[in-house]
Structure 1
Amino acid sequence: MNTKRGWIVAFATIFAGVALALVQNKVAPCMTTLMEAFSIDMATAGWLSSLFSLVGIIIAIPAAIILNKVGPKKGGIIALACAILGSLIGVMVDNTAVLMATRVIEGMGVGLMSVIGPSLIAMWFPETKRGLPMSIWAAYQMGAQAVMFFLGGVLTLNFGWQGMWWFGLAACVLALVFYILCVKSPRPEDSYADVESDDVNIVEGVKSPSAWIMSLATMLFCIGCFGFVNWIATCWAQTFNWGEDQANMWVGYFSLGGVVAAVIIGAVLNRVKNRKLFGAVILVAYGIVSIFGMFMDNPTFLVVFVIVYAFVDAGFPCVLWTMAAQTVKKPELAGVALGVVSIGFNLGVLLGPPIIGAIVDSAGWHAGAIAICAACILGAVVLMFAKLYSVDDADEAAPVAEGLSAASAK
C-alpha cells in the first residue's frame, strides 16, 4: 500500500469534510442577523441548524448503500454538489420555507460525507495506523466551528448573512476540485476495508450489535457534549456578567484547541493497545471537566480549563472514528458500521441542547452539569460492552472455516 497516496487521499477527504462543516455551521454566528432578515423567532431559526441532525439520522444507512453502489469518489462528489447547490439557491432566497429546503439539501451532503470520509480513510489505512488520520478527520467539525465563529462577525458585518453562505460555497467549490483530482479508491486487493465490494451485505452490517452499542455510547456523549457547548457561553455570560461576544470567544478557543488536541491524540492512539478502555476513560474525564466548567464562579482558571477541555472534547471523537469500522465482523462492512454510528451521533446532537436546556431551566446550571456528567459516564459503561473485530481475527478464522468445510465434504 502506498502510504503517501493514502495521506493525499486523506487530506483531500478531510478538506471536503471541513468545507461541508463550514456550510453546516454557518447559521449560529449570524443567527441574530438571520432572524431580523427573515422576521423569524428563535425556534424557527434553531431549525436552520437542527435540520442537519434530522437529515443525518435519515440518510445514515442510505449513505452506506450509496457508498457501496457508486463508490467513495462519486459519493463524495455528490455530497459536495449537494452543498454547492443548496448554498447557491439559499444565498438568493428571501423566503424562510425555501431557505429551510436548501438546508435539507446541504444536510444531505454533510450526511453523505460523514459516512464516506471515514470509510475512505479505513480503506487506505490498516487498523494499527488509523489513529492519526481518523483523529484529524474527527477534528473537521471543531476546525470549521472555530473558523466560522472567528470570521462570522467580519463576514456578516461586511456582507450580511449572505457572506457566510458565499464563504461556505467557495470552500465547497475548492474542495470539489481537490476531491476530483486527489481522491481514488485503492485496488481491492490493497484495500483494508473494501466497502465497494459486491459481497457487502447491508443487512448483515445493520444487524451488528457492537455497531449499535457504539452508536448508543456516541449518542450519550453527544447529548452531554453538545448540551455543554450549546449552553456554556450563556452559563458564563450569566455567571461572570460577561457580554455574549466575550463568552462566545472562549467557545471559539475550545474548537481551535480541539484541532491541536486531536492531532496529538491521534499520534498517541496509534500506540494505544486498548482503545476501548482509553475511550471510556476519556468519556468519564469529559463528564468531570464539564462539571468544573459549569461550577466555576469566576474566570480565573479559564485558560487552564480551555486547554484541558480541548483534549477531553477531542478525545472521544478520535477514538470513535478510529474504532467504528471495527464494530462489524467484516472490513467491507465498515461503511454500514459508520452509518449506524452516525445515527447515534446525530441523535445526540439533536437531543443534547434541548434536554440539557430543560434541566438547566428547571433546576439550574449545576443540575445541567451533573446531567452532562451522568450521560458521559453512562456512555463509558455502554462502550465497554462493544466488541471490536480485527482483520487478523478474520484472517485466522478463514482457514478454520475452510478446514471445517473440507472435512464436512469428506
Structure 2
Amino acid sequence: MAANRWIGFTVVFLASITIAMNQFKVPPVMVEMMGALNLDMIAGGMVMSVYALTVIILVFPAAFVLSRIGAKTTGLVAIGCSAVGPLLGVLTSNFHLLLISRVIEGVGSAFISVVAPTIIARSFNAKERGKPMGIWAGWVPIGVVLIFNLAVPLCTIFGGWRSLWWCCAGLNTIFFILFLICIEKDTPASVSRSDTQKTGSGLSAFKNVAILALGLAFFGTAFRDVGFSTWAPKYFQDVLSIGASRANFLNSFAYLVQLVGTIVGGMLIDRGVSRKVLLMVSGVSTAVVAAFSFSLPALWILPFMFVVGLMAGFIVISCFTGAAGESADPSEIPWAVAIANFGCFLAIMIAPVAVGAMVESKGWGAGTLVVEIGAMVVILAGLVYARFSRCEKNMAPASEGNFQGC
C-alpha cells in the first residue's frame, strides 16, 4: 500500500512538473517568438499573462469541481488541457489563437494546483504528509529549470521556438496515460451528507486572515519572481551581450536554488522556526537584493540569483505548509491552497505586462522599481500573518480527530 501511494505521488509530481514546463516555456524563447510573430514587449508579456488570468478565474471553481467529480477526473482534465493547449499553439501562427492555446493550458494549472495537494492529503496521514507536500512544492522550480535549460538544445535540434510546444504536448500526453493508470478512482458522489457539509465549511478559509496573508505573501514573491524572470533573458542578451543558452541557464539558476529553499525551509519549520520569521527575513532580504534587478553586472548574476531563489523557496514553503497549518479543519485545506494560488497567479498575470510596459517606455531601471513592489508586499504580508496566525500564537486546531494543524 505504501509503495502504491508513492507511485501515485510520483505520477502526480511529475505531471505537475510538465504543467509547470508548459507555463514557463515562453520566457526562454521570448526573443525568438517575438521576432517570428512580430510582437512588441507588451504583447509578449500577454502570452504569459493570459495563462495566469485563466488560472485566476478558475482556481476557486477548480476546488468546487474537484469536490463534485473527484480528484482523478479533475486531474485528467488538467493534464488533458495541458496536452491539447500546446498542440493548438504549435499549429498556429496567429497571435490570437496562440493566446487561446495559452488559455487552455491555464486550465491545466488551475486544476492541478488543487488536485495534487488533495491527492497527497488523501494518500498520506497528517504525520506523513510533510515530506511529500514539501517535495511537491518544488514542481514549479523544477519545471522552470528543465524548460529553461532544454530550450536552446531543443530549438537547435528541432528548429525554432515551436520545439518547446511539441515537447510539452508530448510529455503531457504521456502523463495523461500514466495518471489514468496509476491514480485510484475516487467517488465523490457517494460521500455522506455529513462529509458534503464538511466540504462546504471549507469556505470559512476566506474569513481566515492568516490564510489571506499567506495568499498575499505568495502574490508578492510571484510578482517579483515572474516580473524579473520573464524579462531577465532579454536583459542578459540585449544589455550584457550574453548568449541565449547561458542567459536561460542563469535565469533558471534561481529556480534551482528555490527548490533547495523549499526543502531547507521545510526543515527549518519542522525544527521550530516560525513562518513569520521566514516571511520577514525573506521579504527584507529580497527587497535589498532586488534593488539591483535590471542593473546587474554579469559578474553578480549568480550571487543575485542564489539569494532571491533561496528566499523565494522559504516563502513558498511557508505558504504551502501554512495553508494546512492555519486551516481549522481538513475541509479548509483545498480552499486555503486555492487562495495562495490565486495570489500567485494574479501576480503572474500582472507582473510580466507591467514590467515589460515600464521597460519599453522608461528603460530597464524603471523595470526594477516595478519588481521591488513584490518584495514590499511580502514584508507587509509577514506583518499581517504574525498578527493573526493561530499557529504563531501556539493555538490548537479547532477540530479534533486525526487532523493536525500548524
TM-score (norm 1): 0.82
Q: Which residue matches 1:222?
A: 222
TM-superposition CA deviations, 1:203-230 (whole Å, max 9, x none): 4344444332322222122222323333
CA distance in 1, matches of 2:230, 2:88: 28
| CA distance in 1 between partners of 2:183 and 2:276 (Å) | 30
Q: Which moved more, 1:266-275 or 1:336-345?
A: 266-275
Q: Distance in 2 between matches of 1:263 and 1:32?
A: 33
Contact 1:134 1:266 in 2 (8 A): no
Tell me the distance in 1 between the aligned counterparts of 2:19 and 2:395. 31
- Is the Cα–Cα contact under 8 Å of residues 82 and 108 in structure 1 kept in the other structure? yes
TM-aligned CA deviation for residue 278 of structure 1: 3.0
Distance 1:209 1:238, change over 3 A: same
**Aligned partner letter, 2:274:** N
Match of 2:378 in 1: 376
Does the 8 Å CA contact 1:240/1:299 hold for their aligned counterparts? yes
Contact kept? 2:221, 2:378, Cα under 8 Å: yes
Amino acid at match of 2:225: C
1:314 aligned onto 2:324:
no
Report matched runs for 1:213-252 at 5 Å. Answer: 213-233=213-233, 240=240, 242=242, 246-252=246-252
Q: Could you report, residue by residue, the CA deviation over 1:104-140 in whole angstroms, capped at 9, with x for unpaired residues?
A: 1111111111122123223334455444322322221
Q: 1:378 to 1:275 in 2, by over 3 A?
A: closer
Match of 2:48 in 1: 49
Question: How far off is 1:168 after superposition?
Answer: 0.3
Q: Secondary structure at the match of 1:272?
A: coil
Distance 2:172 2:92 in 1: 19
Partner SS for 2:328: coil
Q: Does 1:165 align with 2:165?
A: yes
TM-score of the superposition, structure 2-length normalised? 0.83
Structure-2 separation of matches of 1:58 and 1:24? 16
Structure 1: runs of 5 or more not aligned: 189-194, 399-410
Following superposition, the deviation at residue 26 of structure 1 comes to 1.8
Check whether the contact 2:60–2:335 (CA below 8 A) recurs between aligned residues: yes
- Quote the residue 2:25 is aligned against: 26
SS in 1 for 2:271: coil
- Identify if the C-alpha distance between structure 1 residues 384 and 129 changes in structure 2 by more than 3 Å, giving closer, same or farther: farther
Partners of 2:249 and 2:330 lie apart in 1 by: 42
Q: Which amino acid aligns with 1:17?
A: S
Letter in 2 for 1:109: G
Preserved CA contact (<8 Å) 2:82 2:172:
yes
Cα contact 2:221–2:312 (8 A) shared by 1: no
Label 1:353 to 1:205 Cα distance change in 2 as closer, same or farther (>3 A): same
RMSD: 3.3
Distance of 2:263 and 2:120 partners within structure 1: 15
What is the CA-CA distance between 1:41 and the residue it aligns to?
3.3
How big is each residue's C-alpha offset from its partner over 1:79-105, in whole Å with a ceiling of 9 and x where there is no partner?
Answer: 011112222233222332222212111
Partner of 1:192: none
Residues 1:7 and 2:2 are matched in the alignment: no
Residue identity in the other structure for 1:278: L
CA separation of 1:155/1:234 partners in 2, compared to 1, >3 Å: closer, same or farther? closer
Shift of 1:161: 2.7
Aligned residue for 1:385, secondary structure, equals: helix
**Matched residue, 1:394:** 398
Stretch deviating more after TM superposition (214-223 or 259-268): 259-268
Q: Which amino acid aligns with 2:102?
A: R
List aligned pairs for 1:333-352, cutoff 5 A: 333-352=332-351
> What SS is found at the alignment partner of 1:393?
coil
Aligned positions, number: 390
CA distance in 1, matches of 2:88, 2:195: 32
- Alpha carbons of structure 1 residues 279 and 126: separation in structure 2 relative to 1, 3 Å: farther
In structure 2, what is the equivalent of residue 204 of structure 1?
Answer: 204
SS in 1 for 2:85: helix
Deviates more, 1:362-371 or 1:16-25: 362-371
CA gap 1:278/1:54 in 2 versus in 1, 3 angstroms: same
Letter paired with 2:258: G
Per the alignment, do residues 55 and 391 of structure 1 end up closer, same or farther by CA in structure 2, a change over 3 Å counting? farther
Residue 359 of structure 1: how far off its partner (Å):
6.5
- Between 1:151-160 and 1:357-366, the stretch displaced more is 357-366
Deviations 1:335-360 (A, max 9, x none): 12222222111112222344456677
Task: Give yes or no for contact 1:222–1:345 (8 Å, CA) kept in 2.
Answer: yes
The answer to whether the 8 A contact 2:211-2:322 is kept is: no
Q: CA contact under 8 A between 2:46 and 2:353: conserved in structure 1?
A: no
Match of 1:63 in 2: 62
Q: Distance in 1 between matches of 2:293 and 2:396?
A: 42
Change (3 A) 1:86 1:293: closer
Q: Give the CA deviation at 1:323.
A: 1.5
Q: Could you say if the C-alpha distance between residues 367 and 48 of structure 1 is closer, same or farther in structure 2, counting changes exceeding 3 Å?
A: closer
Q: Structure 2 CA distance, aligned partners of 1:214 and 1:180?
A: 33
- CA distance in structure 1 between the partners assigned to 2:147 and 2:209 by the alignment: 37
Matched, 1:147 2:149: no
Aligned partners of 2:106 and 2:267: how far apart in 1? 31
Distance in 1 (alpha carbons) for counterparts of 2:390 and 2:184: 27
Give the equivalent residue in structure 1 for 2:191: none
Output the CA distance in 1 between the equivalents of 2:142 and 2:33: 23
The residue aligned with 1:134 is 133
Aligned to 1:182: 182
Shift of 1:20: 0.9
Question: More displaced, 128-137 or 107-116?
Answer: 128-137
CA displacement at 1:66 relative to structure 2: 0.9
* Greater Rg by CA: 1
Counterpart residue type for residue 85 of structure 1: V
Residue range with higher mean Cα deviation, 316-325 or 244-253: 244-253
Q: Deviations over 1:224-249 (max 9, x none)?
A: 23233334455556775645654433
Q: How many angstroms does 1:167 deviate by?
A: 0.4
